[in-house]
Amino acid sequence: MTKAETYLGHWHAHRDVLTDLVKSVGEEHLSFQPWAGAMSFADLVWHIVSTGYFFADSAALGHLGMRPEKADLSTMSALESSISEWTQKTHDRISSMTDDQFANLVDMTQLFGAKLPATALLQTNLDHEIHHKGQLFVYARLCGADPLPFFVKRG
Amino acid sequence: MTKAETYLGHWHAHRDVLTDLVKSVGEEHLSFQPWAGAMSFADLVWHIVSTGYFFADSAALGHLGMRPEKADLSTMSALESSISEWTQKTHDRISSMTDDQFANLVDMTQLFGAKLPATALLQTNLDHEIHHKGQLFVYARLCGADPLPFFVKRG
């Protein structure tokens, strides 16, 4: 199994929960903010999805990659489409990487003040995604969603 | 670097945030529940800490390990002591493992219906910890805590 395949298996176990989690709340809750100034439900989903692509693109390029322009998040179907589109694009960027590329240094000096191995950047991406997805579970409960999916999805 | 050292570096980057996060809320918030029936702030901390030891003990033993008896979580100092005690014990269990042990199958049939490599069990533990710690950040904000620590701590 290549490093990309191993990573993608782990990543999809988390990413593939996101659509189920979004579907667990009603469209009227997409703008829900648990406290004043918090990211809304839809914004937090987009933060996960857009950061995931940005980190994957950076890892594949070896330097700061492309941040997707903010998508339309105003309806359930728009949000689901955005998740689907950027999940595929992120998958494709990671899938394109050779085992050697996982050991390459990625110049993230502008963002983190350092170069770091692609494998470390991709691990940070996974941790970041799991962290915020955990928060979305609390958001969903606060919106009254019950039951919720399990926190990982096994293929 | 041994596999145990690599794992511990990654794990501590998350675990070592927990005490700062607990300190960010007042003692009166330890019993905070964001919805009826939710785990309280202190219970969710204990869930992370006790599950972490249980998974580490299981990984080191090769079969279901010991679940710590529920500690006193009623005061800030009791909760901080419990985090500190079980973080050290969990560290020691993982630290005791050889590289070969990371590839060993751990019999988790009773819990997960399968045997799985120790390395996969320990990865699940990390994902589980990051997931619930993310939730604690929302709990803390809902209790009015501001600022909060960053979601990982670099040594």
The whole-number pLDDT of residue B113 equals: 94
Q: How many CB pairs under 8 A join A and B?
A: 55
Domain assignment of residue A147, yes or no: no
Q: How confident is the model at residue B155 (pLDDT cuts 50, 70, 90)?
A: low
What does the pLDDT look like over A132-146, one tens digit per residue?
A: 999 999 999 999 999
What does the pLDDT look like over B78-134, one tens digit per residue?
A: 999 999 999 999 999 999 999 999 999 999 999 999 999 999 999 999 999 999 999
Angle at B117 between CA B115 and CA B122, to 5 degrees: 110
Interface contact flag, A130 B131, Cβ < 8 Å: yes
What does the pLDDT look like over A70-119, one tens digit per residue?
A: 999 999 999 999 999 999 999 999 999 999 999 999 999 999 999 999 99
The residue-averaged pLDDT of B11-23 equals 97
Q: What is the CATH number of the domain that holds B129?
A: 1.20.120.450
- The answer to whether the beta carbons of residues A133 and A17 sit under 8 Å apart is yes
The whole-number pLDDT of residue A154 equals: 81
The pLDDT mean for chain B works out to 97
Interface contact flag, B134 A139, Cβ < 8 Å: no
The whole-number pLDDT of residue B154 equals: 81
Which chain A positions have a beta carbon within 8 Å of B141's beta carbon?
34-35, 38
Domains of chain A: total: 1
pLDDT surpassing 70 at residue A155: no
Domain ranges, residue A61: 3-98+107-142
Domain assignment of residue B149, yes or no: no
Domain assignment of residue A153, yes or no: no
Domain assignment of residue A151, yes or no: no
Calpha distance B30→B22 (Å, rounded): 8
The whole-number pLDDT of residue A95 equals: 98
Calpha distance B5→A99 (Å, rounded): 23
In percent, how much of chain B has pLDDT > 90? 99
Q: Is this complex scored with an ipTM above 0.90?
A: yes
